Structure 1
């Protein structure tokens, strides 16, 4: 079975050529995805729907991982996510915390400044 570090790295890479089904397959059925400025999303099906909606605005996201550490089932990475869409590339500094169990992501929390998204795309363009 791949390590938690390998699972998180593969999930991050999958956003470069995004497919909501492929990305959501990295998550446990009862996973929680929480972009800290927004409300948490519960369950793989809801995560898949969020990803699909997000990708209706953005063509892809490149995750440039600067640092990643793993201990046990916890993986943390500091990265720059480059949002590609609406005719521009927008870099977003992010800190991500992942919990992995039985080969699937059970929790993903991303910490970032929502004001950077609002400045780049306007409040109406930010994903909900």
Structure 2
């Protein structure tokens, strides 16, 4: 079924939205970037709020798979998840091994949906803490600007 057909379908239930968010968590743990990107609409947006958004499924795939190249483990450890006004809110700690360095960062993620796909995923966390936990000296989102 195409994205257009899915988007035109009846509204997605809150339970289905939680299921889709859970699939995203599983895709990150498996480091299956194809599966993670496929959960977005074609024109989906991944927005870490302290940097410019990544727009479009292909660009999102390129970004997350690129970051995943140096990761050997990623776990999104969710402590709370629920739906308010049709939007999924997820409180979690992201635990990872990146370029041989073990790290963890508290994060709040927010998913907006269009049909059976994620239209916008916003991430709220301390950017400096993330970079420190990753062992990254220069912010990779600003290297090409």
* TM-score normalised by the chain length of structure 1: 0.90
Question: 5+ residue gaps in structure 2?
Answer: 1-11
Tell me whether 71-80 or 101-110 shows the greater mean CA deviation.
Answer: 71-80
**Segments ≥4 residues shifted beyond 6 Å:** none
Alignment partner, residue 122 of structure 1: 136
Question: 5+ residue gaps in structure 1?
Answer: none
Corresponding residue to 1:101 among 92, 104, 114: 114
Shift in Å at residue 23 of structure 1?
A: 1.0
Give the number of aligned pairs: 127
- Tell me if structure 2 keeps the 8 A contact 1:32–1:42: yes
Deviation by residue 1:66-92 (Cα, 9 ceiling, x = unmatched): 001113531001100012222232111
User: What RMSD in Å do the two structures reach over aligned CA positions?
Assistant: 1.6
* TM-score normalised by the chain length of structure 2: 0.80
- Distance of 2:85 and 2:101 partners within structure 1: 38
1:32 aligned onto 2:45: yes
Corresponding residue to 1:91 among 99, 104, 112: 104
3-state SS of paired residue (2:23):
helix
Corresponding residue to 2:73 among 22, 36, 60: 60
Shift in Å at residue 20 of structure 1?
A: 1.6
Corresponding residue to 2:93 among 80, 85, 94: 80
